[in-house]
Chains A and B, each alone.
Chain A
Amino acid sequence: MALRSLTRHTLRNATLGFRGLQTFSLPDLPYDYGALEPAISGEIMQLHHQKHHQTYITNYNKALEQLDAAVSKGDASTVVKLQSAIKFNGEEGGGEPPKGSLGSAIDSNFGSLEALIQKINAEGAALQGSGWVWLAADKELKRLVIETTLNQDPLVTKGPSLVPLLGIDVWEHAYYLQYKNVRPDYLKNIWKVINWKYASEVYDKEFP
């Protein structure tokens, strides 16, 4: 079930309550709030992490407590947390283009890194409302795909064999304070801090 696919981050932050129910705490970011400037302002990072992400975690814990009565609710919140964990894998001084097997996979699937970035940005900008845009690896078809999901829908709703490598949050709260309504600018700049190392690690694990 969803619990089995928890990432390292969330497992590390789970503590057992007295009833044996796991409760989760907000994972720390591996960098300062201001580390992703000027692509993403410190203010946005702090709000996004301490308010939005924290709220999802609080609600998830609450939902877990009611797990007996409301199984589906618990699942939805899980993935929200997971998605946030993946997105917050930005990196200080990141943006270095991927090398190795992920790099060549990108070239063979999309032509070039620029083409990939353009496509992702186009999909992200075209998304109506709130959602995420993903670069995912399809385990079955053994290729890379770009997907979008609405609100906090998990990537698996687009395909059970999809493994997320990169996720970009295009909810307005993710960029509004800095970029206002100009979502394309946010999408252009976020590539400067994308953590390709993490994406490569995940990719290499799926396709050794």
Chain B
Amino acid sequence: MNLLSCSSNNCVSSYSLLASTDLSLKSPKTSIELSQLGWKQRKGFESNRSRKSSIVGYYGLKRPPYKLDALEPYISQRMIEVHWGGHHNGYVEALNKQLEKNDVLYGCTLDELIKVTYNNGNPLPEFSNAAEVWNHDFFWESMEPGGGGMPTLGLLQQIEKDFASFANFKEKFARAALTLFGSGWVWLVLKREKRCLAILKTSNAINPLVWNDIPITGLDLWEHAYYLDYKNDKAKYVNTFMNHLVSWNAAAARLVRAQAFVNLGEPKIPVA
């Protein structure tokens, strides 16, 4: 997992770097990459490759850290193509289009952009696109082929401390996911003030960054995240995520990084 450090306190990866070095979606390299995956070329790609594009990409589409068929049979390649290439890509393009019109917001890292556009509960129109871009980047990295199982070492200790047992945590997480109504996400977060792990349900695009908490792992519960493979069987999707997909490696790395900002242990002050 990419652990770039950056100026703001709590971002997981630096998007301002990406904006300058990553190629905008309409560049030839990305188009060819996508076509190699068998992704159908949309009209936009062809026409923008041949003429000079007046649209600059402020944010780029980040790839999942595994091949698109790597999560089979739990999440089909087809579904990842639609989810990543359709929805996630759509959010990136929509966000870039919005930023074109409003360059007061240009220059933030994605985390800062989310906090600013959340506007303390009165979100600006850019918020849902920005937050969904971030959420989906986070989500792809929260899964891995051969995932599931149990966390180890420090993460397991912290989970057992805050939830009594790993099984209890799993059950609580699944229950939160199944009682979420409408579109939204379920998160395992590290709460800054309380210095403990907690499970959070959020609606639509909202993520824990807006409350300054640190997300450790997350699950997309918008229907588009599971409908093609699981139809309306949300329970099966949630259980599959917990048992076969969730990346405890990524979660552990995030917790390690979070400890740079949140002190989870008592300070070990030697006695004389």
Contact = CB atoms under 8 A, between A and B. Distances in A.
Interface of A: 47, 51-52, 55, 128-131, 150-152, 171-173, 176-177, 180-182
B169 to A, nearest CB: 26
Across the A-B interface, the 9 shortest Cβ-Cβ residue pairs:
A172-B223, A151-B182, A129-B183, A129-B204, A181-B86, A176-B227, A130-B182, A51-B232, A130-B183
Contacts, number: 51
A42 to B, nearest CB: 14
B189 interface: no
A74 to B, nearest CB: 15
Contacts of B181: 151-152
B90 A47 contact: no
Q: Among the interface residues B82, B87, B183, which one has the most CB atoms of the partner chain A within 10 A? A: B183
Nearest to A131: B182
Nearest to B182: A151
A181 B232 contact: no
Interface string B50-90: 00000000000000000000000000000000100011001
A181 B224 contact: yes
B27 interface: no
Contacts of B205: 128-129
B223 A130 contact: yes
Contacts of A180: 82, 86, 224, 228
Contact of A52 (B87, B128, B183, B232): B232
A129 B222 contact: yes
A29 to B, nearest CB: 17
Interface in B172-229: 181-184, 203-205, 222-224, 227-228
A152 B82 CA distance: 26
Contacts of A131: 182
14 contacts: A51-B232, A52-B232, A129-B182, A129-B183, A129-B203, A129-B204, A130-B223, A151-B182, A152-B181, A171-B223, A173-B227, A173-B232, A176-B224, A180-B82
B231 interface: yes
A180 B128 CA distance: 19
Interface of B: 82, 86-87, 90, 128, 181-184, 203-205, 222-224, 227-228, 231-232
Nearest to A153: B182
Contacts of B222: 129, 172
B223 A150 contact: no
Contacts of A172: 183, 222-224, 227
A181 B183 contact: no
Contacts of A47: 231-232
B223 A176 contact: yes
Given A151-B182, A176-B223, 19 more contacts: A47-B232, A52-B232, A55-B232, A128-B204, A129-B205, A130-B183, A130-B223, A152-B182, A171-B223, A172-B224, A172-B227, A176-B228, A177-B227, A177-B228, A177-B231, A180-B224, A180-B228, A181-B87, A181-B90
A193 B149 CA distance: 48
A173 B203 CA distance: 17
Given A151-B181, A151-B182, A173-B223, A128 B228 contact: no
A190 to B, nearest CB: 17
A115 to B, nearest CB: 24
A89 B102 CA distance: 43
Q: Which of A51, A129, A177, A182 has the most CB of B within 10 A?
A: A129
A118 to B, nearest CB: 20
A151 B223 CA distance: 12
A150 B231 contact: no
Nearest to A150: B182
B163 to A, nearest CB: 27
Nearest to B205: A128
A172 B187 CA distance: 21
B44 to A, nearest CB: 14
Contacts of A55: 232
Nearest to B87: A181
Nearest to A182: B86
A140 B257 CA distance: 58
A156 B231 CA distance: 30
Nearest to B128: A128
A180 B222 CA distance: 13
